[in-house]
Structure 1
Amino acid sequence: MSLAKNVEFLRSLPKMNGFNGFGAYGLALESNRQSPLVETTGFGSNPGALKMFSFTPDTLQKKPGLVVVLHGCGQTAAGYDLGAGWSMLAKRYGFALLMPEQRSSNNANTCFNWFNPEDIAREHGEACSIRQMVARMVRDHKIDPRRVYVTGLSAGGAMTSVMLATYPDVFAGGAVIAGLPFGIATNVREALSGMMQSSSRPAGELGDLVRKASKYKGPWPKLSVWHGSADRTVNPANGNEIVKQWLDVHHLPQAAMSEGTVDGYPHKVWWNADGETIVESYTITNMAHGTPLGIAGNDERYGVEGAFLIEAGISSSYHIANFFGLTERVRQPKAAATESPSAKLIPLVSPISASGPDLPKAPRPKPTPVRDAPPSRQKPDRVIDVGAVITRALTAAGLMK
């Protein structure tokens, strides 16, 4: 079936929360507050015909990271940014933000075409357009290519799966909110079936879909998965399938290494040999389809409640930024003169591997174990080693942020 016929089939369906109902919300948000996002043109051949919006705060971290945020169906980049609070986080913590935007000419409901083979293959369509935007941001803002991440809601979450599978050499990690695994649909009918039913597939079969999407051999991006247990738009079983897919890619066991609660919600964790969390999942009990909002770990609120942006008592955007290792407070110029150089090197969040994906065609080094604190802050070696082990264990169990 051609893409045109698939889109026509989608138009003929009764209204569905996942595909319709976002548009008015996005416009309403933008009318109440001027967006900090800036549009950029001329970022490449743009085979997917997407729009590029971004936000770069005045003060960036010394080696700034970049978060690519993909909106849901019917939404705009500015509307989802305001709702999820990403530009607020970027300003507070000094990282850059890239928000691609879909056009109605590509998809009548402005969904990213995560199910269209022409848009989800490496160097083709929408996936290639997003990759070109990342390259522009890295070049223009001196982004650390090892600190590039991607996240998204619903169709944007499914497109996040696409980007991690097709460009694992570009992204150090990702976070999928109410999305779907990579490669389970090649047209709208299959996409709708996956959304509503989420057939269980063998882990190896799911992992092969990712491994075959590129010639890359790893190390692979880490992943955070979020899904509401009462989601009637994208079956919650999809969250389990995404986790299953990436556990197989990482050669990790299907059984969680640690289970606990974060802000009252079930949280599962898998880590690697260095104690770094590689895969995690959040089940937002009794929450419908959307992005969970709430008070962050620093007692601040990011985002605005609205359609498919749901007050749940947990700030997914903050926790995702923390999982990416981006919530170290940005140092202001005046403060920098009074702090020792070693102080800036000690992370305020969970330890992460110093390694990450490099740009395409550039060799990617092997993972580097988490290092101890710099010498100026070190106590005797044995004490530091024990503290590092305890910190990693508590972080992985969700008992420390």
Structure 2
Amino acid sequence: MRPLSDTLMRMTAFREAGAAIGSRAGSDRLSELTGFGGNPGGLRALAYVPPGLPKGAPLVVVLHGCTQSAAEYDLGSGWSAMADAAGFAVLFPEQARANNFNLCFNWFEPGDVRRGKGEAASIRQMIEAMIGQHGLDRRRVYITGLSAGGAMASVMLATYPEVFAGGAVIAGLPYGVAASVPEAFDAMRGHGGPGEAALPAKVRKASQHKGPWPSISIWHGSADHTVSPSNGEAVLSQWRGVHDLDPDPSHTEVAAGHTRRVWRDAKGRALLEHNLVAGMGHGVPLKPDGSAGGGVSGAYMLDVGVASTRDIAASWGLIHEAEAAVAPRPVEAPRAVRKPAPRKPAQAAPVLPNVSAIGKVIEDALRTAGLMK
């Protein structure tokens, strides 16, 4: 556990970053999805469905990072542009300030990361609504996310593995490595948490599912000082154990500082891949070349010459590898308007018995910073 001063310093930095939320530009391509269920996590749902999308199309679920909105993440990552080019629907769950001041998905809150509970259940309800309303193929549902969104993608892949054909965790963390804000900060730095041998069991115990398991793509920058690259290796260990794969990869390639390791099954299918981008910090690797899926550089959207959105879509079979660079398309003019997000019903703060003086100081500070319910 890190010192109290370290935790408070990090909370302050996150709060200051969150103070500017709402002033940034984003895509104006998304529409509100309503009536998707009880929404126990109090999340907002936005979506993009290309005009004339046929029945039986795939669905990609995209989870933004802290301090971001769905529209900002879409503009930067280029997922809706990729949907136009390749023919699939996109669902963008969006966090509410009432749940987390910095708009982080609560990947560390026990009440939000269990099957049938909180934010995880809300996202599952959204997926079912999208499939039902648009006649999508439930055998081809995929999920990706950045940072806290990447960690929440890990949550969804663990708690609802039967729902997803594949997932991509970008600068995220494994499932089940934190159950509080201080533990979350420790995990982000690569400290504490369960050992490598215990990580696969976290996934196996999260549901009654016995397989087959979704394929997993992991992306991390070697110079990420927000979420340690060791977390990418931990996600790799977690799912390598779940898939019962050998420690050594089936294939390794290095190109312009991008190292890709792939693990295949006996039939040659890629079940797991780990992508490490040399020198990249915390964010989504992009190649803003004007093509669909190339993205637009900005905060946490990093021009490193690697089009991760296109590469992820190709790894899921949504586009062919040879078609990863598609015809250029104009980038929509950004806008800065955001609709107010729904709020969770007010709840009384839980009564914590036998709380020590130092524990109360931490909890009060976390609530003041908006990082604890």
Contact 1:93 1:328 in 2 (8 A): no
Correspondences of 1:1-400 after superposition (within 5 Å): 13-16=11-14, 21=17, 24=20, 27-30=23-26, 35-60=28-53, 63-199=56-192, 201-262=194-255, 264-294=257-287, 302-327=294-319
- Matched residue SS, 1:266: strand
* CA positional deviation for 1:288: 0.5
CA distance in 1, matches of 2:123, 2:211: 21
Q: Deviations over 1:293-312 (max 9, x none)?
A: 0157x965622100111001
Q: Cα gap change, 1:156/1:300 in structure 2, threshold over 3 Å: closer, same or farther?
A: closer
Deviations 1:76-101 (CA, angstroms, capped at 9, x unpaired): 00110001111100111110000000
**Partner SS state of residue 80, structure 1:** helix
Distance 1:98 1:91 in 2: 14
Partners of 2:153 and 2:198 lie apart in 1 by 19
Q: CA deviation at 1:254?
A: 1.7
The Cα of 1:263 is off from its aligned counterpart by 5.4
d(CA) in 1 for partners of 2:210, 2:85: 35
Return closer, same or farther for 1:190/1:212 CA change in 2, 3 Å cut-off: same
Distance 1:75 1:348, change over 3 A: closer
Q: 1:23 to 1:80 in 2, by over 3 A?
A: farther
Question: Take 1:250 and 1:229, find their aligned partners in 2: how far apart are those partners?
Answer: 25
Deviation at 1:327, TM superposition (A): 1.3
Deviation at 1:204, TM superposition (A): 3.0
User: Secondary structure of 2:162's partner?
Assistant: coil
Partner SS for 2:46: strand
SS for the counterpart of 1:186 is: coil
- Provide closer, same or farther for how the CA distance between residues 258 and 141 of structure 1 changes in structure 2, counting only shifts above 3 A: same
Instruction: Tell me by how many angstroms 1:257 deviates.
Output: 1.7
TM-superposition CA deviations, 1:56-107 (whole Å, max 9, x none): 0013356310000000001000110001111100111110000000000001
How many residues in Structure 1 have an aligned counterpart in Structure 2? 319
The CA distance in 2 between the partners of 1:294 and 1:81, in whole Å, is: 15
TM-score, length of structure 2 as denominator length? 0.80
Q: 1:262 to 1:137 in 2, by over 3 A?
A: farther
SS at match of 1:220: coil
Decide whether aligned partners of structure 1 residues 117 and 41 sit closer, same or farther in structure 2, where only a CA change above 3 A counts.
same
Q: Deviations over 1:217-274 (max 9, x none)?
A: 0000100000000000001100000000000000001222211125541000001111
Q: Is the 8 A contact 2:82 2:292 kept in 1?
A: no
Aligned to 1:14, what secondary structure does the other structure show?
helix
CA contact (8 A) 1:268 1:282 kept: yes
Which amino acid in 2 is paired with 1:325?
G
Contact 1:203 1:248 in 2 (8 A): no
**What's the Cα RMSD here?**
2.4
How many percent identity over aligned positions? 48
CA change 1:262–1:12 in 2 (3 A) is closer
Q: 1 CA distance for matches of 2:246 and 2:74?
A: 35
Q: Tell me the distance in 1 between the aligned counterparts of 2:17 and 2:316.
A: 30
- Alpha-carbon separation, structure 2, partners of 1:48 and 1:170: 19
Partner SS for 2:24: helix
Distance 2:85 2:238 in 1: 33
For 1:27-57, what per-residue CA distance to the aligned partner results, in whole angstroms no more than 9, with x for missing partners?
4223xxx511001221100000000000000
3-state SS of paired residue (1:29): coil
TM-score (norm 1): 0.75
Q: Distance in 1 between matches of 2:8 and 2:70?
A: 22
Secondary structure in structure 2 of the residue aligned to 1:113: coil
Which amino acid is the alignment partner of residue 15 of structure 1? A
Higher relative contact order (CA 8 A, sep 6+): 2
Where does the alignment leave 5 or more consecutive residues of structure 1 unmatched? 1-5, 330-346, 350-401
Once the two structures are TM-superposed, the CA of residue 201 in structure 1 deviates from its matched residue by: 4.8
**What is the CA deviation profile of residues 373-395 of structure 1, one whole-angstrom value per residue up to 9, with x for unaligned ones?**
xxxxxxxxxxxxxxxxxxxxxxx
**Partner Cα separation in structure 1 for residue 189 and residue 304 of structure 2:** 23
Matched letter for residue 308 of structure 2: S
Question: Does the 8 A contact of 2:79 with 2:293 survive in 1?
Answer: no
